[in-house]
Structure 1
């Protein structure tokens, strides 16, 4: 059960709090990922603020969505979900705004034999949190901060809101909740006192990791947990043997898989699914999304890659952009201010300077000069350019698709190619150079 109905007033946003992004994904998505790793028989998400925005943003066949039309407290939220609970099952209750919770903590909580088990944490500054009230080490109740006495507010063991309960007891306790408190809400935490009154022991597992149970209530909280997430991801990469120039300056917004002897310079961003093979070197401030980078490939600074695959020993950048559908074979070179889109480039080919190659098939050992453009769009349709093996494309060439440059052809600099260029021949379309005598530049007219 994931409670995700809150507005998040302190976020100062019209968007539901749980849809704000942490590491490139909605906060709630992180909680769902944790829940799925537990192999539950059912996942129930209680949503409220924002109407259907939350289920629409995270559609999934394995989620039962339950709406809490009025936000009357966490206990009220759970009451809305009662019809979906199986009487002989056990429910783990998670919070949609606590994204760093570890699977191991959930497993420990579920392993408790008590009818009700809580996950708690020790906070040096517990203000705002529900206090865990014990008598002779046994949990007796959770008292919310606004309802706590001065003595109770001195308690530093606090409720995280994460708990597990047997459904038969849970249904009974939820039916007994009332809203006679400072907030006039139905507190889920009141079930602790009800469990004690029924003679049921309440187990409490204390987490030694405060960050994993920290909720997000403001943009400051979001920024803080973003850094915690990134620092922990960087630590895992370092432990795997990845060399990071500065672990504080890397952002992984998805999954990064790295081989041996990978080096990553500062300021790099990895989004989606990214795989770096052995001996890959990533220069500073690269942005890589949904890409596979082959063994020994080097990306110079400020290279952008999106939905592309690169084979072994490629040299890319600086300031190169590889857009979706680009596939590079081994030993290809793509240099500064070169953009490729939906282009397949075979081994040994070079596109080193200031070119746009879109919707193109480039063969082996092709050299494409500076300023070359494949004119792939006629305003309505896109067409393909084919450049066969060992062709040489001179600088400032326009290849007007659909067109084919045959194997071994040479295209003279400054040529506009509108027809297929024959193999092993020189093709050019220049106007013969001439000079206009006695011509003078215009002079500025004084007003």
Structure 2
């Protein structure tokens, strides 16, 4: 790719997406927790785009909101008269721009930056227009690309306008097209709507270039990369495809996935080397896992940082703001939210740590709860280094437990505990010898009398 030439992208996202049957714009439906349109923009970020224009129509306000901090311009297509007409709506936003222009679709989130570079390279080698083709297992109703063995395009035709011989061709049009601005705008202007649908088709940019004697080249890629998403079923297929790629990437990076097909990643999940992930683990957005950590089965992590050598789960839940420092551990049925577990600290089972700070080496007993909410406000619990919290304790925030302190099992602590202190907060244990036996005898006699009375 010639880096001396500026590059811009027009992303078409004006369609209604009726097959999704959703109040959410089609291109904002998430894959791995990230809107498909933003996947595409993230990929294009590698290309050093000078300008990006998203052509919008239906539910424009949703797209404007999603793109507010992306440095992207939107252009309205109204009415919607076809894909070439849509691309023309970006002209005002690209006024004064001179360089290569890519036109693509917002519902094709898997397009890679390297593929776009290959299209640009075709222009640098002399083509006036470059298009992206693919060979699906079933060509269905895709538009066809009729090309020579060297990739020179002789004709592009929509399926509805193709004859039987052209439909027999398995090289299909993805819709991605690149040309220099000096060529793109005149070719778009020349597109007509004399076709079966009466629409202005984007592929006719290539057809127009061929008609005037220009060279048009097709670059081929895998069908999975350019699969469009128009329905919930196709969204699920794309999610599965993305997850499969991410699993391969994680294992190639040094992580061990015990049952890869059962592990689900978010778009921004980060795993270090020698991380072990057991079956049925879900990573939500914003999770990083450092080297040597173990995520045990059936755990759910979101917005969490897991330090080196840590152990999570099984059946643990780390919510946003959870931070586990080196060699700390949470076990089964432990939940953390906006809480830090210090180096080597442990909460082995049945514990809730919310709005809490736990010092290094502390031990949190089973059934411990940090009571952080009074129905109106959240409060913080601070537990010092090497403190021991006995089982079934309630720490009623705001409260501070000192270093090396012990909270006896079954305590409800509402006042600070000093360093090295023992705090026991329980009612007196009362024993009444023989009381239970007398109670049972009385109840049995009463029950028998009731039964005799009814009989």
Q: How far apart in 1 are the matches of 2:187 and 2:245?
A: 38
Superimposed CA distance per residue, residues 314-336 of structure 1 (whole angstroms, 9 cap, x where no aligned partner): 12111111112x11111111122
Counterpart pick for 1:430 among 427, 432, 439? 427
- Matched residue of 1:204: which SS? strand
Cα displacement (A) at 1:61:
4.5
Q: How far apart in 1 are the matches of 2:148 and 2:396?
A: 78
Name the structure 2 match of 1:380. none
Cα displacement (A) at 1:388:
0.4
Q: How far apart in 2 are the matches of 1:304 and 1:61?
A: 32
Cα displacement (A) at 1:172:
0.7
Superimposed CA distance per residue, residues 381-439 of structure 1 (whole angstroms, 9 cap, x where no aligned partner): xxx21000111112222223xx3111112122xx2xxxxxxxxxxxxx52462539565
- Matched residue of 2:118: which SS? helix
Cα displacement (A) at 1:135:
5.7
What is the correspondence of 1:262-411 to structure 2 with a 5 Å cutoff?
262-306=275-319, 307-324=321-338, 326-357=339-370, 358=372, 359-376=380-397, 384-400=398-414, 403-411=415-423
Alignment RMSD: 2.0
- Matched residue of 2:416: which SS? strand
Name the structure 1 match of 2:3. none
Counterpart pick for 1:71 among 51, 73, 80? 80
Decide which structure has greater strand share. Answer: 1
Change in Cα spacing, 1:351 to 1:87, as seen in structure 2 (3 Å) is closer
Name the structure 1 match of 2:27. 18
Counterpart pick for 2:269 among 256, 269, 284? 256
Check whether the contact 2:44–2:112 (CA below 8 A) recurs between aligned residues.
no
- Matched residue of 1:56: which SS? helix
Q: How far apart in 2 are the matches of 1:142 and 1:92?
A: 18
Q: How far apart in 2 are the matches of 1:219 and 1:201?
A: 39
Q: How far apart in 1 are the matches of 2:306 and 2:147?
A: 55
Cα displacement (A) at 1:263:
0.8
Name the structure 2 match of 1:423. none
Check whether the contact 1:141–1:190 (CA below 8 A) recurs between aligned residues.
no
Q: How far apart in 1 are the matches of 2:200 and 2:350?
A: 60
Cα displacement (A) at 1:136:
7.2
Cα displacement (A) at 1:235:
0.7
Check whether the contact 1:87–1:168 (CA below 8 A) recurs between aligned residues.
no
Name the structure 2 match of 1:142. 156
Cα displacement (A) at 1:278:
2.1
- Matched residue of 2:209: which SS? helix
What is the correspondence of 1:192-207 to structure 2 with a 5 Å cutoff?
192-207=206-221
Change in Cα spacing, 1:411 to 1:135, as seen in structure 2 (3 Å) is closer
Name the structure 2 match of 1:45. 54
Change in Cα spacing, 1:136 to 1:101, as seen in structure 2 (3 Å) is closer
Q: How far apart in 1 are the matches of 2:245 and 2:70?
A: 31
Q: Which moved more, 1:181-190 or 1:21-30?
A: 181-190
The gaps in structure 1 that reach 5 residues or longer are: 377-383, 416-428
Q: How far apart in 1 are the matches of 2:342 and 2:101?
A: 51
The TM-score with structure 2 as length reference comes to 0.88
Q: How far apart in 2 are the matches of 1:315 and 1:124?
A: 48
Number of aligned positions between the proteins:
421
Name the structure 2 match of 1:184. 198
- Matched residue of 1:353: which SS? coil
Q: How far apart in 2 are the matches of 1:87 and 1:279?
A: 49
Name the structure 2 match of 1:419. none
- Matched residue of 1:217: which SS? coil
